[in-house]
Each structure stands twice: as C-alpha cells, then as structure tokens.
C-alpha cells in the first residue's frame, strides 16, 4: 500500500472514531515517506558530487565574486504579521486527504516534502483529539498525548524548510500545525513557548498571504 493510501485509510478510521487504527496508518505512511526522502537525499548528494567534480576545472577560472553572485540565495521580502483572528482557537482543522496515488518512487523531493508534512499533520491532529478528550475528562494521560501531538506537529513544521528552500510558497497545513501548537501551549499555560510559536505562525501566515 502507498503512503497516500495509508494516509487516506487512516482518515477513514479517524472519521469513525477509531483513533488507535488511525494512528497506526499515519505512522506507517510517515515511515514510508521518511525512507523515500532519505533515498532521494542520498541520490541528490551523489548527483551533486558528480556534477561538482565535472565542473571543477571550469569553475577554477571564474573569479570568487562571480561565483558568490551566481549561487547567492536572494531573500524575498516577507509580509508583516497578519491577523490571527480568522484562525479560531477552538478549530483544530480537518485531516488532509491525499489525491495523489502514484508510487513513491515517482515523487520529486518536493512531492515527498508535501506528502510527508500532510501525513504528520494528520498524525498530530489525531493525537491532539485524543489529548483534548482526555483533558476534558481530567485524565493525567492528557499531558502524554499533548506531548505526542506536539512532536508530530513540530516534525510537520520542519518540512517547511524543505519547501521554502525549493522556492515554493508555504502550504496551509503548516499554518494549521503551528496554530494547533499555540493552542496546546495555551492549555498547558506554557507562555514562553506559546509566544515563540505565535511569532512563527505570524510569519507563516505572511508567507501564505504572499502566495
């Protein structure tokens, strides 16, 4: 079964309230994508080494300032902080269904980054829903599931760097993950972490609005 197929199967379980089964599917899908990304990175590194070796003689004659100019990454202006009012504190978002059913070996690195991020968001959302339920029941297990949800959301947000390095506009699932992290820190009264992530959320919203 493909990662996308497992993700969508997990959503089916989640919609029926079968959280344990949903988590299993999302974790399996995430593992597939982690291996896919690792293989792609190894392939990219190998191609880069070959390309650099072939170009070494050519680059030797180019002045240092020309090389720096050629490979300098231009920083785009980022929009200022956006209003967070449209993001309801009580809305965690819906799980993300993946239409793309092609085999992982046919993905580009950008495809893999997007897919992996969406699967991790779905995993975080499922753990978040369990945590909220236990929080309302005043169960001590709520903290455990909040921590697991935070871990999944943060791994989801790490995908942001892969996406932006490829010159691609940020995706909504990252904004949703950041929003939910802020919400969790609110519930846990962790104001220091909440303030930091809120700044990240405002920046992400700015990038999203650019697109």
* Tokens 């792609």 sit on residue: 40
Q: What is the pTM of this model?
A: 0.76
Task: Tell me the pLDDT tens digit for each residue of 43-96.
Answer: 766 655 555 445 544 444 444 444 234 333 333 332 233 334 444 344 788 999
Share of the chain above pLDDT 90, in %: 45
pLDDT at 34 over 50: yes
Q: How far is CA 142 from CA 21, 124, 174, 192, in A?
A: 19, 14, 23, 20
Q: List, as one string, the DSSP characters of 175-210.
A: HHHHHHHHHHHHHTT-HHHHHHHHHHHHHHHHHHHH
> Residue 44: its pLDDT value, please?
67
Q: How far apart are CA 201 and CA 91, in angstroms?
A: 15
108-121 pLDDT, tens per residue?
Answer: 888 888 899 999 99
Query: Residue 162: which H helix or E strand, with range?
Result: helix 141-165
Contact predicate 83/206, CB 8 Å: no
């Amino acid at each position: 079964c493909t990662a996308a197929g497992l993700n969508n199967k997990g959503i089916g379980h989640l919609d029926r309230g079968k959280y344990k089964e949903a988590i299993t599917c999302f974790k399996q899908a995430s593992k597939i994508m982690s291996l896919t990304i690792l293989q792609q990175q190894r392939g990219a590194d190998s191609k880069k080494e070959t390309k650099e070796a072939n170009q070494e003689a050519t680059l030797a004659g180019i002045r240092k300032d020309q090389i720096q100019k050629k490979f300098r990454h231009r920083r785009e202006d980022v929009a200022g902080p956006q209003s967070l009012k449209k993001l309801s504190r009580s809305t965690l978002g819906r799980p993300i269904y993946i239409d793309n059913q092609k085999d992982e070996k046919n993905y580009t690195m950008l495809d893999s980054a997007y897919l992996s991020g969406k699967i991790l968001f779905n995993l975080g959302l499922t753990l978040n829903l369990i945590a909220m339920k236990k929080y309302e029941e005043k169960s001590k297990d709520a903290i455990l599931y909040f921590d697991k949800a935070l871990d999944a959301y943060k791994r989801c947000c790490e995908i942001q760097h892969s996406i932006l390095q490829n010159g691609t506009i940020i995706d909504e699932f990252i904004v949703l993950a950041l929003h939910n992290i802020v919400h969790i820190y609110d519930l846990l009264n962790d104001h220091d972490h909440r303030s930091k992530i809120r700044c990240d959320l405002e920046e992400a919203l700015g990038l999203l609005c650019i697109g």
